[in-house]
Amino acid sequence: MSASSTADPKSAQAHARAQGATRIDAMPTLPPSEARDRPAGVSAEDMLWEETIGAGGYAAKRLNRGARLRLTDLAGDACASMLVFNAETPVERLNVADTVKVQWNAYLGQGRLLLSDMGRVMMSLLEDGAETHDAFCGASNASSNARRYGTGDNWGPHPNARDRFSLALAKFGLGRRDIHPCINWFKGVKIGPDGEVETQVGPYAPGRSLTLRAEMDLIVVLANCPHVRDPRPDYSVTPLRVSAWRGPVTPKDDLIRNATPEGLRAFLNVEDYFRR
């Protein structure tokens, strides 16, 4: 349609409404019950979120306690940088240092927990088909992207994770000061015996996924930008699929809940929080 045909309000309205059925890959599925990638055994009515986050994109969602969140690296080169907040009181948020320290392990995988800065478990990692994750390096920023790609601002061809976080947080009344150290899923970092950093960026086989369980009411924020230590000269990142669905609250006999005394204490802190 030419620009002249949208110059008056009625033509512009008709043009806008004609786009209503348009679908592109990088967009949310609304309603979520129409999700194309529904997990086995999950009813359409239980779906809460399905969205494909394109290269350089971001998304955020409030998830209730018990919800399951699945992240899928569709083409093998996604980097899902994640922030997590207590939806009721966002001053409580993911603490990556405590997540590593309390569990005596710096490498996240199945059965591990994401802990808040108030000693509560925020999410449990139920399934991990990737096993390459990073709790060390944090998010890319405008300067790091500019050094590698020539530009790194939010509106250019090489957006960075930190600025994408800012856009997502604004939708919840939060700002740049609320950006905390993040977890990077699907891109791994290992620390060698002499302290050297080994970055595992792939690309990997398509379709790797992980599933997390919300142990509190949460705000989950995701940015899909190249890892801050990705050595490749090109801006290399592929789409990320996000799926979430309703699930039961963690029972007292849950294996992950009872796996370690430190983890059990974090669950007891959550259960005390909800004892009202």
Q: What is the pLDDT of residues 238-267, one digit of tens each?
A: 999 999 999 999 999 999 999 999 999 999
Q: Would 34 be classed as within a structural domain? A: no
CA–CA distance, 198 with 117 (Å, rounded to integer): 28
Q: Pull the structure tokens for residue 174.
A: 């939060």
CA 192, distance to chain mean position in Å, is 27
Q: Would 16 be classed as within a structural domain? A: no
If you ran DSSP here, which 8-state letter would residue 249 be given? P
Q: Would 15 be classed as within a structural domain? A: no
Q: Would 39 be classed as within a structural domain? A: no
Q: What is the pLDDT of residue 21?
A: 63
If you ran DSSP here, which 8-state letter would residue 251 be given? P
Q: E strands, the chain, where? A: 47-53, 57-63, 68-73, 80-86, 113-115, 121-128, 133-134, 183-185, 188-191, 197-200, 208-214, 218-224, 240-245
Domain hosting 101: range is: 46-242+264-273
User: Which backbone phi and psi does 61 adopt, to 5 degrees?
Assistant: -155, 145
| Apex 253 CA angle, 247 and 254, nearest 5 | 50
Q: Would 184 be classed as within a structural domain? A: yes
Q: Pull the structure tokens for residue 214.
A: 């919300």
Burial 88-125 (b: 16+ CB within 10 A, else e): eeeebbbbbebbbebbeeebbeebbbbbbbbbbbbbbb
Q: Would 183 be classed as within a structural domain? A: yes
Q: What is the pLDDT of residue 29?
A: 87
Domain count, the chain: 1
Q: Would 92 be classed as within a structural domain? A: yes
Burial 183-219 (b: 16+ CB within 10 A, else e): bbbbbbbeeeeeeeeebbbbebeeebbbbbbbbbbbb
Q: What is the pLDDT of residue 195?
A: 86
Look at residue 99 and give its three-state secondary structure: helix
Write out the chain's pLDDT in tens, 276 residues.
Answer: 455 566 778 777 877 777 666 666 777 888 999 998 888 899 999 999 999 999 999 999 999 999 999 999 999 999 999 999 999 999 999 999 999 999 999 999 999 999 999 999 999 999 999 999 999 999 999 999 999 999 999 999 999 999 999 999 999 999 999 999 999 999 999 998 888 889 999 999 999 999 999 999 999 999 999 999 999 999 999 999 999 999 999 999 999 999 999 999 999 999 999 997
User: Is residue 58 a contact partner of residue 204, using CB atoms and an 8 Å limit?
Assistant: no
Q: Would 182 be classed as within a structural domain? A: yes
